[in-house]
Structure 1
Amino acid sequence: MIPVPVKFLILAVLVFSVGYVHLRGRVRHKLPRQLTDHSSFLAPLNTLLYLTSSVPNKPYLSPDDFPEMKRFQDNWETIREEALALFQAGEIKRSDTYNDAGFNSFFKSGWKRFYLKWYGGDSHPSASKLCPKTTALLQEVGSVKAAMFTLMPAHSKLVRHRDPYAGSLRYHLGLSTPNDPGCFISVDGQTYAWKDGEAVVFDETYIHHVENTTDQDRLIFFCDMERPLKYGWATALNRWFSRTVMAAASSPNDAGDRTGGVNRAFKYLYWLRLQGKAMKRRSRNLYYTLKWGTLGSLFGMFLLS
């Protein structure tokens, strides 16, 4: 059995960290939503990363504070050329199956992607073959843990959400964009509109949403950079989590690319999610009774263990 003082310590850490994540920004989910949001399950780790961060905890950061990333902006036209060639060849696309847990919910909006690299690994073989200049640039910047090209079609949007993992910061470089205020991202209530050749850095664990109200698609270069931390032990922990847990969410462009364990299991997990959605449509009361009853039972088992 787990000693009672240890149980209360674990519970206190969980309550503090979920509260910290929830109250951190100006834009917040409603509390019931926050309690079951994926950011709550990673809240203890994320709170540790926030508290040891060597960069300010705020929605947007200056790209000038990350000089190694300037290599991409200096070569943005080369990157755009390869991205447009991929788009014209139909390679920037949604997944054909349930093997992209991280971005599956985006596909219904028309959002598309082509992976260049993912946590814990080198460039995808398909990316090295189809966009060698961009992948060569990525090899020169060790702080980039994941990268892709993403396309958001005209007259589409991504709803409010926060990404689950605070060990990275998000970098966007406009490649072929509307260059219009109607195509924007709002991070914790602060809006930025993409422009060709311009970079933006933001903390993706703040609640954000995206809209493209224009008649033109938006194509960008999208990277996850390692969050700079104050202490070596915190950096070591973050890198371990990155190359083990985050690497398990690797998604392929084609059959020659690696699929991580999370995405190999995702089709089965998503089947369960579909059953839950069907139940919710039939009876919201039954759905929420079972949902909160299950969570309460797990909590009770922890207290009694």
Structure 2
Amino acid sequence: MQAEVRAKTGTATGPAMWRNSGRDPRSTPHRTPDLTVISGAPQPGAPLAAEPGRPLIIRVGKHLRGVFDRLIASSSLVSNDPVLDVRDFAWTQLLREHWRDIRDEAVAVALRGEASPSLATISPDHRAIAEIDKWRSFFLWGYGYPIDENLVRCPRTRDLVAQIPGLNSAFFSILAPGTHIPEHRGVTKGLITCHLGLIVPRDGDVRMRVHDRTVRWSEGETLVFDDTYNHAVWNDTSGTRVVLLIQFERPLRNPGKWIADAFLNVVRRSAFVQDAVRNIGDWNAAVKQLDV
């Protein structure tokens, strides 16, 4: 897809979501790409709505995932609870020890201008839950696909995250002040999610409900949970919440591992992933054009 770009003038603090975070990037003028860089992307203020006409494999897969998830859960080598014990995942200590390095790269790169597109812009399947300019993302890996140009810009985070066993996805998840992400659930029980708190505002309540548990982030701490349980997020503060979001493969015995691997291989080749990876590339290309 050929990206079409229209420039507009702004400040490097970007949209209002970056304000009051306590860590504003520099304030030199810059230009940012218009949302039309991605075909079909909703405009700011558009109502939440699922993308119509999604491929059959995605629609069928959502109906069958309950069957697969039960089979995978029966083979799990770790708890199937909504929130898991971080001590069961020794590598999380590495993230906690170096969280300031990761945060500094997020501030210098992901929070700068329009480097991080709205999740609804790049991922059609998130348009039912993610408002434009409310939930942004800066991807390093997406379903096993490295985003090389982003990895180069965050070398310390890249090297740390590369040590995670079974890494599937890694991105800076950026939530604007006043944002509510409605209840939703993940794609497969074969993946587990980890959040590393990087910027957590303290002038209100920023929280997530996972099934029947309510959890809160702390800077420098990790939270591990099963996103196949319904979960919802609130940022009831005047600041921006930033976490490093990691998805990794659930430790499994067979036959659950065979099932999880086969399901993930299908997902990685589906439009659910391929559209998003292509859109990230188009967005980054548009940003580069504006820097010429």
TM-score (norm 1): 0.66
Out of 117, 125, 140, the residue aligned to residue 93 of structure 1 is 117
* Percent identical: 26
Structure 2, gaps ≥5 residues long: 1-58, 285-292
Listed as ranges, the matches of 1:254-293 within 5 Å are 254-255=281-282
| Corresponding residue number in structure 2 for 1:68 | 91
Structure ID, larger Rg = 1
| Corresponding residue number in structure 1 for 2:79 | 56
Report the Cα offset of residue 240 of structure 1.
3.2
Q: Please report the RMSD computed on the Cα atoms of aligned residues, expressed in angstroms.
A: 2.5
Report the Cα offset of residue 209 of structure 1.
0.5
Listed as ranges, the matches of 1:132-281 within 5 Å are 132-179=155-202, 182-231=205-254, 233-248=255-270, 249-250=273-274, 251-252=276-277, 253-255=280-282
Contact 2:120 2:126 survives alignment (8 Å): no
Q: 1:70 to 1:143 in 2, by over 3 A?
A: farther
Once the two structures are superposed, what CA deviation does each residue of 1:77-119 show, in whole Å capped at 9, x if it has no partner?
111011111212431221585x413433313471110111022
SS of structure 2 residue aligned to 1:107: coil
Contact 2:120 2:132 survives alignment (8 Å): no
Does residue 146 of structure 2 align to residue 119 of structure 1?
A: no
Once the two structures are superposed, what CA deviation does each residue of 1:249-291 show, in whole Å capped at 9, x if it has no partner?
142333398xxxxxxxxxxxxxxxxxxxxxxxxxxxxxxxxxx
Name whichever structure is richer in strand by fraction: 2
Aligned residues: 220
Look up the equivalent residue of 1:177 and give its one-letter code: V
- Structure 2 distance, partners of 1:102, 1:126, is 24
Report the Cα offset of residue 37 of structure 1.
10
| Corresponding residue number in structure 2 for 1:40 | 63
Kindly report structure 1 stretches of 4+ aligned residues shifted beyond 3 Å: 36-40
SS of structure 1 residue aligned to 2:164: coil
Structure 1, gaps ≥5 residues long: 1-35, 258-305
- Structure 2 distance, partners of 1:37, 1:210, is 27
Does residue 140 of structure 2 align to residue 110 of structure 1?
A: no
Q: 1:74 to 1:102 in 2, by over 3 A?
A: farther
- Structure 1 distance, partners of 2:74, 2:120, is 40
- Structure 1 distance, partners of 2:181, 2:283, is 29
Report the Cα offset of residue 42 of structure 1.
1.3
